[in-house]
Amino acid sequence: MMKLLAGTHAEVREFLLDYLERELPLLKRWQFRLHLLMCPNCSAYLSRYRSSVSLARNYLDDPPPPELVDLTLQFLAQRLPEQDGNASPTP
């Protein structure tokens, strides 16, 4: 698994919402931004995740329940399987 400055690819799923909501500590946020510049897999994953969150927020009156967030993360994780130690999105 490719090591991030801010953690492993698996750990990204744990802090992605905090990253989008600007709740991550500044150093971790900048480290992840640097990683995004070098990792097209994480960049694509972030784009799909951002679209999912935006869709949920635009079409639901209330914030998405934690269960929906978890299911979305699981779905996206299946689209970013581990291969040869590196994450790779599937079409």
Q: How does pLDDT run across 33-78, given as a tens digit for each residue? A: 888 898 888 888 888 888 888 887 777 666 777 888 888 888 888 8
pTM over cut 0.85: no
At residue 11, the pLDDT reads 72
CA atoms 7, 8, 9, 15: torsion sign: negative
